[in-house]
Structure 1
Amino acid sequence: MSKRNYNIRSDFADEMISRQVDEKTYQHIEKVWQDIKTNYIKILEDENVLGKDKGDYVSIEFQNILDRDHRDMVVETVKQNLEIMMKNMKLNPQKILVVGLGNRFITSDALGPGVANEIMVTAHLYANEDHSMLKGTGNVAVIQPGVMGQTGLESSAIVKSVCEEYQPDVVFVIDALATRNTGRINRVIQINNTGIRPGSGVGNHRHALNEEALHVPVIAIGVATVTSIGAILSEALDPLDDEKEKMLEQLAQKNHLDLIVTPKSMDDELKHLIYIVSTALNKFFHPAFDTL
């Protein structure tokens, strides 16, 4: 069989793992609780077989997004993993900036703006001298930089300018991601401390939002909302033989494998994804959120 010279896009570190991968460059632990599967990956070297930046990656996979109790379990799992990541990073932030990336007019890319709309903003209140009424809350600011087609500016330039003015201790970036597994669309959340490239979910990579660029620690939260034609065909044609491989090679040469798709249920399921991510963040940022 010919060696494959095309890649199926995935923004998830755990999807790059296979039995053939040398584990010297990373560590991997999988845990299952209730119906939630969590993969912990620590990439140890800049040059690694997964092709990801050095750092920590946590993927939280779930199935029953339509059940409120199950969604709340996912919320708690996301919150707990944020706490663990912050502890491992030895961060105790006093000022937090949340960045909702994406285009609010495109459903599959509207996760970031949708989450940003639901975050409880308090930075303007903390600007006052009297903080007595803010007990149980954190100092949180939120921005939605939009996309270059809307603003004419790189998202990274907008976020960097806000960071210079607001001086946050940590930046949380929310964005839509691409999965290579169709069963994981709208069913998996990834948290990492390596940052993100706006537009990565649709293959339109822009300047990175990471600690190197912003000079502030960055935690990225992404949800799989799209996949590619290549991923769908690879699943449908599995196992591959020489004839199937040749067909995929021809499609790849015409750039057909990079076409992006999202499920027809995206409109309904987006609101549940926004609820999960925004509620987990609000509970994490504001310890007294449930009583406010």
Structure 2
Amino acid sequence: MNELLRFLNLRVDLAVEARDLIRGATGQEVPGVEETVEQMEYIKINTINILNEIGAQQMGRPIGTYVTIQSPPLKINDPYVKDEIITAMEKKLPLLFQNMLKPGDTVLLVGLGNWRATADALGPKFIEYSPITRHYHQEAPQALVEGMRPVCGIAPGVLGITGIETFEIIKGVVDRIKPALVIAVDALAAQNVERIGTTIQMSNTGIQPGAGIGNMRHSLTYEGLGVPVIAIGCPTIVNAGIIADQAIRKFCLHSGAMYNETRAVDAIKEVLSFFGGGLGVTPTEIDEIIENASRILAMGVAKSLFPGISEEQLELYAT
């Protein structure tokens, strides 16, 4: 798998997948990494803590905490699953905030991605369904429910649409409004088809837009923006080469044939050479996945930022 990822120029977006790849290759736990697992009625929560530089080098991502919520497909729009995910986000996100937020602090929500491409529209849709309150604090504070903090949101688009690097837009906004925290939501790339529409990852280490599909942009991190960055994402796409490799492995397993990684990768390279390896696949029901996932993420973030305020009240402030 590592050889295939190098050929496809892909970075593993999900920490649980990176851990599985490393652990599968060595047969041992990853040094410098701790994991806890919580099983709820409908979902499973994996919390991975990268403790030191050894763990960071092994995992290929910064020191910090990565919370992964795994659930039945979000496309089903099951209200019980939805409620449990929102409750889990409400509980886990403050642990990622740590002591970053005081009650009156401003939070900037960033919806990364291309609103013209359905599979990449998770971030902009998240902004659409998120409660936005900063302008009320300035213009009509009497219209706010008691206890609501100033929250603003932006969907900066992508370089191909705006001609401006996403980082430059967000940095300009951050410098102007000076939020205490940035929460960035983006569509992720999975390395397993079973992750599409079933997984949510949250971390306190920032985000590198486009990394999962080999199109790396400037990282959104504390070091770059000057404020803490919480990253949230859901896989919506998988590279065709990954699907082909999984199919070959399944065939070998069921037929008794010997899997040869070098030959498998060579065959995949030959088939995908016309696209330079850059062929992404997303399910036909991606519209429903994006719609449901964006609503769940928006409410999960909102409940963590506005504790004690009902979902019905929060929905009134959505854009």
What is aligned with 2:287? 267
Cα deviation for residue 64 of structure 1 reads 4.5
- Cα distance in 2 between the residues matched to 1:9 and 1:201: 5
Going from structure 1 to structure 2, the CA distance change for 1:129 and 1:104 (only over 3 Å counts) comes to: closer
Cα deviation for residue 219 of structure 1 reads 0.1
Residue 122 of structure 2 aligns to which amino acid in structure 1?
A: L
Contact 2:43 2:85 in 1 (8 A): yes
Decide which of 10, 13, 16 is 1:14's aligned counterpart: 16
- Cα distance in 2 between the residues matched to 1:291 and 1:260: 37
Going from structure 1 to structure 2, the CA distance change for 1:290 and 1:205 (only over 3 Å counts) comes to: same
The percent identity for this pair of structures is: 31
Residue 295 of structure 2 aligns to which amino acid in structure 1?
A: Y
Cα deviation for residue 221 of structure 1 reads 0.3
1:190 counterpart = 2:201: yes
Cα deviation for residue 23 of structure 1 reads 2.3
What is aligned with 1:54? 63
Deviations 1:25-84 (A, max 9, x none): 211112211121111111123442111111110110100432122112111112211122
What is aligned with 1:278? 298
What is aligned with 1:33? 40
Bigger shift: 238-247 or 6-15?
Answer: 238-247
- Cα distance in 2 between the residues matched to 1:199 and 1:244: 26
Deviations 1:236-285 (A, max 9, x none): 12266455531313534737544211111101221111111011112222
Going from structure 1 to structure 2, the CA distance change for 1:43 and 1:110 (only over 3 Å counts) comes to: same
What is aligned with 2:317? none
RMSD: 2.2
Q: How many residues align?
A: 288
1:200 counterpart = 2:211: yes
Going from structure 1 to structure 2, the CA distance change for 1:277 and 1:249 (only over 3 Å counts) comes to: same
What is aligned with 1:102? 113
What is aligned with 1:245? 262
Structure 2 residues not aligned, in runs of 5+: 253-257, 314-319
Structure 1 residues not aligned, in runs of 5+: none
Equivalence map 1:56-135=2 (5 Å):
56-65=65-74, 66=76, 67-86=78-97, 89-93=98-102, 94-128=105-139, 133-135=144-146
- The 3-state SS of whatever aligns with 1:267 is helix
Bigger shift: 13-22 or 122-131?
Answer: 122-131
1:290 counterpart = 2:311: yes
What TM-score, normalized to structure 2?
A: 0.83
Decide which of 49, 58, 63 is 1:42's aligned counterpart: 49
